[in-house]
Every structure is written in C-alpha cells, then in structure tokens.
Amino acid sequence: MNPSLNRLLSLDGKVALITGASSGIGRGTAKRLAEAGATVMVLDINENGGQETVQEILNHGGNAAFQRCDVRSEADCKGAVEEAIKRFGRVDILFNNAGVAIRKTAVELEEQEWDLALDVMLKGAYLLTRHVVPHMIKTGGGSIINTGSGWSLKGGGQAVSYCAAKGGLWNMTRAMAIDFGKHKIRVNAVCPGDIDTPMLRGECAQLGEDETKFMEEAATRPIHRVGTPEDVANAVLFLASDMSTWITGTHIVVDGGGIA
C-alpha cells in the first residue's frame, strides 16, 4: 500500500476519549483506534470491564488508561477531560458512545427510566463535548463522533426513550458541526443496526424473547448477519482519521442494509 494512504488512516500521536468502553462497540472501537496508533482513555462506570479493555490494548502493544466516568455527571466529565489533558496533553478524538436500551412504551416507561436514557445518551454527549472542545480549539481541531442508531433515523417499537435520545443525538450532531466547523472540529455520527453486544442481548432478555430466535431475526437484512463491534469501529476510525477531513455534520449507517 502507498505510504501516504497509511498516513491518512494513522492516528499516531493522537489521543482519543471513548465512553462506554468497557464492552461492546466501545471496547471494539477502543482497540481499533489503539491499533491505528491513538492513545486511548477508556471511560466507563464499569471499572472491571474498563480495565479489561485497557489490558487488551496494552497486551497488543497499544497505549491506554482507564478513568471512571459517569457521563451523567458534569464533575465526572470535566474530571475525565482534565485527567486526559494532564496525562497526555491533548484530546483529538471524542467518541460519545455510552448508551442504555430500555425496551418499553411511553405508557410502561417510568419517569426515572426516561431520565436515565436521555441523561446517558444525550446529556452525556453534551457534557463531554462541552469540556473537550476548548482543548481541541487550542490544538487546532479534532473529531467528535457520536453513536446514534438506525432508530436515530426511524422509529422502533417498545423503545420510546431510546428513540428519543438517539434522534436528539443525531440532530445535536448536526448542530455541533455547524457551531465548531470554524475551529476545524468535525462532528459526525455512526448509526449502527443490531450489533452483537451485551446490550443487544440484554434487550432480548427485557422483551422476554428466545435469544436464539431473537438473534436470528436480527440477522434478516441484505447482508445476512448481525453486526460486530468491529464493523462500527471501522467506521469510527474513518471519521476519526484524515481520510474524512471534509466530512462533518453527517452520519454513516452501519447496519448491513437494515434500513435500505
């Protein structure tokens, strides 16, 4: 491969913050960005899972550290960004990925469950962006990637809080792209379909469905399989890298053709 192409995908010298990185899409993306050369700060409330992600990266020659962060807390978000700056001197990539899926209708959903969903997925992205952007401005730019969903773009059954949060996150992505483009900060979203993660299997349990049947139905799409965290991680790498320097305010659907 031409060395110049390698340089376009390289994240050497860059620092990435990833929320919800103790498992699933967050862990897969943390590993992929580390493979591309980034130093990764793993953010999560799950300390054991977060440390496991860090150890996997270290075992493969990458550089990573864990910071406990409840994305609903401004103090935690501010502290995580400050710790990244203290340890690594900069933040070039922010992947707002933390999420929670509560499979209920508006009638079934409790108020505290609504608050949890919107606080984790919408407020958390706002808080981390708020504290990361000033540092990105100082260093000349950066890339913010938000985890949306196919349900950012269309509705889904028994998932009112999830659809609300992901729909809001997608439009927030576009608004932030407009606000921060002048600072060479790009803001985009990845919109996964069904990805084989603990969260997806947790949805199956919530709905009381047979897991084998649930996963088989999740694979009924033009590309006949459930997605993997690595499928999403590859899209995030593209948006984080210099391969996408004129791409902002948009989304990449990673769903095997599910909403085609």
Which secondary-structure segment (H or E) carries 78?
helix 74-88
- Of 139, 123, 145, 110, give the one whose Cα is nearest residue 26: 145
Structure tokens at 145: 């990637």
Q: Which residues lie below 8 Å from residue 213, measured CB to CB, with a gap of 6+?
A: none
Structure tokens at 148: 């949306």
Which secondary-structure segment (H or E) carries 147?
strand 142-147
Give me the amino acid identity at 158: Q
* Residues with catalytic function: 162
Contact present, 14 and 184 (Cβ < 8 Å)? no
Distance CA 208, CA 102 (A): 13
| Cα-Cα end-to-end distance for the chain | 32
Which secondary-structure segment (H or E) carries 192?
strand 185-192
Contact present, 149 and 165 (Cβ < 8 Å)? no
Distance CA 233, CA 67 (A): 21
